[in-house]
Chains A and B, each alone.
Chain A
Amino acid sequence: MKSEEELFNILKTKFNENVIKLVKQPIDPFIICDPLMINEISLYLLSNEELLFDNLMNLSGVDDANGKSTPIEGIATIEGGTLSVYYHLESTKFRHKVVLKVCTPREKPEVASVALVWRSADWHEREAYDLLGIKFLNHPDLRRILMPYDWEAGYPLRKDYANPEFYHGMKVPY
């Protein structure tokens, strides 16, 4: 069992400037990492004998909505700010857990894919791409997963998403 501090120090010595900081909060403190290096950090966490984070519990994309909000024709459009991805990891052998977070700019959201490190990340990343538009670089099969493949109205879980009036001739709003 390793605490967050120890894990952070291990990662900091190995990856120095790519592991940015440890954010302390009463429940689930998390470590902020570089979005383009997250695949290598993940591989290290999985393969290191003393860490063995073999289970990716959850991967969630989040729209931080911390940019400038300007209403255009009644719809609040957000410019700037970040989208982020949280990784909840666990080791089934040592029972320690860690939370990683990466932030990526809203205009060009790109994160390195961890789908080849933990295969369970495959569908989670597709879901984050589908609902939030985060592009996972080197993902084996990055397509929409929940929404129809021909959905053109954007990414629904973004805070400034506006629903279309019609889809294939069917009225969408109530």
Chain B
Amino acid sequence: MAIKTEEMVLNMGPQHPSTHGVLRLELVLEGEIIQKVIPHIGYLHRCFEKHCEAMTYPQVIPYTDRMDYLAAMGNEFGYAITVEKLLGIQLPERVEYIRVIMGELQRIASHLVAIGTYGADIGAMTPFLFAFRDREVILNLFEITCGARMLYNYIWVGGLSHDLHPDFVRLTREFIKYFRPKIVEMNELLSTNRIFIERTANVGVLPLETAINFGITGPMLRGSGFKWDLRRDDTYSVYNKFDFDIPVGEGKVGTVGDCWDRYYVRILEMGESLKIIEQALDQLPEGDVTSAIPKRIKPPVGSVYKRVENPRGELGYFIISNGTTSPFRVKVRAPSFVNLGIMDVLCKNHMVADVIAILGSVDIVLGEVDR
């Protein structure tokens, strides 16, 4: 009797504790080996681009917060500098510095969630609790600045909604002092953990040429060993005034570009962000943060594409203006959306359990994938 074999199709999500939201993956399996991964997205499609067309330029900012809700400051930052480029306005120095500080604090907060949930996905619950404990400290800093914990509406076109709280600088310095040892702690707890390394090293290796052709950016690209950071390579705001390194994956425990490298790049980036914040606090100039905010935002006809380095990669805004007070078209190049497209290549010939490890290392936010 001939043996009949057939592929099995396994459904994962949209309700699954490890898909970081409402992602659905269709896994085509041969035994335990993955032949193909078909991602189904759009379960959180909130019509961002349609809203932009109906809103005025400043009204769009709260909606940008809700795209990548783990890095809301980064989204506002990107949108604000895109519109400012379209308008061609100059900003006070203080605004730029505060934006950089906020952006980097947000990067740490976002990476903490990425690392914490990655640990939880793979079976280590403690890093999750530790990461959220440290994240609360950053959220408190944001809260004294603008009153909100997650979605801020703080960075406006041409300035900021408020100046810093008088205690902000002192508290941020205290946070830096508090947080440095926590990175070491996280390394001892998770990065060098034998079980964690077994689960992530040599899993989901992403070669550099493939990464560039797929448009991969952010920690994933750097994990594959490419020194590419828009803060330096296509510099914006005042990032050129700071001294910081761009960590890349080196294959310390496995191959260059595996899950562990992508994870470890995030750990190192948190340290670099602390460096930038420290320098920015030292150089923080005085000034008025609301003086350059235009009374009425009405850019000239034209189009602009501007991108910033968000915690997840290159966040780009493409805005077409037709000379009215609301944008004609806004298209967002969301880093998670592009990074998720490579799941099929990364997961091929791996075990089912590795899908979780790979997905966690890609670090997606579904609000941004679906917009």
Question: Given the complex, which residues of A lie within 8 Å of B287, measured CB to CB?
Answer: none
Tell me the smallest distance from the CB of A89 to a CB of chain B, in Å.
11
Report which of A62, A88, A148 forms a contact with B305, defined as CB distance below 8 A. A88
Of the stretches B5-13, B333-341, B352-360, the one at the interface is B333-341
A9 at interface by CB-CB < 8 Å: no
Tell me the smallest distance from the CB of B70 to a CB of chain A, in Å.
20
Report B174-206 residues with CB < 8 Å from chain A CB. Answer: none
Chain B, residues 307-349, CB within 8 Å of chain A (1/0): the string is: 1000000101010100000000101010001101100000000
Report which of A25, A119, A123, A145 forms a contact with B213, defined as CB distance below 8 A. A119
Of the stretches B42-50, B102-110, B128-136, the one at the interface is B42-50
A147 at interface by CB-CB < 8 Å: yes
Can you name the residue of chain A whose Cβ is closest to the Cβ of B301? A25
Question: Given the complex, which residues of A lie within 8 Å of B307, measured CB to CB?
Answer: 57
Whether A146 and B45, one on each chain, are in contact in the complex, defined by CB atoms closer than 8 angstroms, is yes
Question: Given the complex, which residues of B lie within 8 Å of A25, measured CB to CB?
Answer: 302-303
B304 at interface by CB-CB < 8 Å: yes
Question: Given the complex, which residues of B lie within 8 Å of A58, measured CB to CB?
Answer: 305, 316, 318, 331, 333
Question: Given the complex, which residues of B lie within 8 Å of A123, measured CB to CB?
Answer: 337-338, 340-341
Chain A, residues 136-174, CB within 8 Å of chain B (1/0): the string is: 000000001111100000001101000000000000000
Report which of B86, B213, B302, B331 forms a contact with A60, defined as CB distance below 8 A. B331
Whether B213 and A148, one on each chain, are in contact in the complex, defined by CB atoms closer than 8 angstroms, is no
Whether B331 and A156, one on each chain, are in contact in the complex, defined by CB atoms closer than 8 angstroms, is no
B173 at interface by CB-CB < 8 Å: no
Question: Given the complex, which residues of B lie within 8 Å of A71, measured CB to CB?
Answer: none
User: CA separation between A30 and B50, bound complex, in Å?
Assistant: 24
Chain B, residues 242-260, CB within 8 Å of chain A (1/0): the string is: 0000000000000000000
B370 at interface by CB-CB < 8 Å: yes
Tell me the smallest distance from the CB of A123 to a CB of chain B, in Å.
5
User: CA separation between A156 and B52, bound complex, in Å?
Assistant: 13
Whether A119 and B42, one on each chain, are in contact in the complex, defined by CB atoms closer than 8 angstroms, is no
A40 at interface by CB-CB < 8 Å: no
User: CA separation between A28 and B304, bound complex, in Å?
Assistant: 6
Tell me the smallest distance from the CB of A3 to a CB of chain B, in Å.
17
Contacts A86-B318, A120-B338 given; does A157 touch B213 at CB 8 Å:
no
Contacts A62-B329, A145-B42 given; does A27 touch B302 at CB 8 Å:
yes
A26 at interface by CB-CB < 8 Å: yes
User: CA separation between A123 and B371, bound complex, in Å?
Assistant: 14
B212 at interface by CB-CB < 8 Å: yes
Can you name the residue of chain B whose Cβ is closest to the Cβ of A131? B49
User: CA separation between A119 and B212, bound complex, in Å?
Assistant: 9
Report A89-120 residues with CB < 8 Å from chain B CB. Answer: 92, 95, 99, 118-120
The 10 closest A-B pairs by CB, nearest first: A120-B215, A60-B331, A146-B42, A58-B333, A146-B45, A123-B341, A27-B304, A119-B214, A88-B305, A62-B329
Query: Which B residues lie at the A interface, using CB under 8 A?
Result: 41-42, 45, 47, 49-50, 53, 85-86, 212-216, 226, 228, 233, 302-305, 307, 314, 316, 318, 320, 329, 331, 333, 337-338, 340-341, 370-371
**20 A-B contact pairs sorted by A residue (CB < 8 Å):** A25-B302, A25-B303, A27-B85, A28-B302, A28-B305, A56-B215, A57-B215, A57-B316, A57-B333, A63-B329, A86-B318, A92-B228, A99-B305, A118-B215, A119-B214, A122-B341, A123-B340, A146-B45, A147-B42, A157-B49
Q: A86-B318, A119-B214 are in contact. List 20 more A-B contacts (CB 8 A).
A: A25-B303, A27-B85, A55-B212, A57-B305, A57-B314, A57-B316, A57-B333, A58-B318, A61-B331, A86-B303, A86-B331, A88-B318, A119-B341, A120-B215, A122-B341, A123-B338, A144-B42, A146-B371, A148-B42, A157-B50
Query: Which A residues lie at the B interface, using CB under 8 A?
Result: 25-28, 30, 54-58, 60-63, 86, 88, 92, 95, 99, 118-120, 122-124, 131, 144-148, 156-157, 159
